[in-house]
Amino acid sequence: MHGAAHIRAVLGLGCALLSPPGAAGYLGHHGFLAMLRAGGWRGAEVAILDCGDDAGWAWAALRDGMPMVVLRAGGDAARAFPGRVLPQAPPARDLQHWQERRGRGWLEEWAGG
């Protein structure tokens, strides 16, 4: 997810909403949550913030309500927040170059297949 338009496009497809790699370092969890909400996310879909290797970002995000994080070195955070820390990002479709005018067809095909 690179913006609210991407979130709007994916909502309802049953896909997780995944930040770009390492987004916690430049967007922060508050920024990612704000972007999710601006796109219409209300907590029903899984949202995942990629924290790279930084446990500090992951701890802060999880404490403040981020549903899930990617933390390559899970360690204590994975034990403290069971089921909410992933050691790697799930398969994802990068929406960096997608635009609303293209429609959702290829997203729906990818999500369904």
CB count within 10 Å of CB 82 equals 7
Query: Is the residue at 97 inside a domain?
Result: no
Which position has the higher pLDDT, 8 or 66? 66
Question: Would residue 59 count as lying in a domain?
Answer: yes
pLDDT tens per residue across span 19-58: 989 999 999 999 999 999 999 999 888 899 999 999 999 9
pLDDT at 2: 67
The 3-state secondary structure of 49-60 reads: EECCCCHHHHHH
> Looking at residue 103, what is its pLDDT?
67
Query: In the predicted model, what is the mean pLDDT of the chain?
Result: 85
User: Do residues 2 and 20 make contact, with C-beta atoms less than 8 angstroms apart?
Assistant: yes
Helix ranges (DSSP H) in 1-113: 4-10, 28-38, 55-63, 75-80, 105-112
- What 3-state class would DSSP assign to 17? strand
Residue 103 is assigned to a structural domain of this protein: no
Mean pLDDT, rounded, for 79-93: 90
**Domain presence at residue 107:** no
List the Cα angle 30/46/19 in 5-degree steps: 50
Those residues whose C-beta lies under 8 Å from the C-beta of residue 23, and which sit 6 or more positions away, are 32, 49, 50
Report yes or no on 76 lying in a domain: yes
**Predicted local confidence at residue 97, as pLDDT:** 64
**Structural domains counted in the chain:** 1
To the nearest whole percent, how much of the chain has pLDDT over 90? 48
> Does pLDDT of 82 surpass 60?
yes
Mean pLDDT, rounded, for 59-82: 91
- Flag whether pLDDT at 70 surpasses 80: yes
Inside any domain, residue 54: yes
Report the alpha-carbon distance of residue 77 to residue 65 in Å, rounded: 14
Parent domain of 46: 4-90
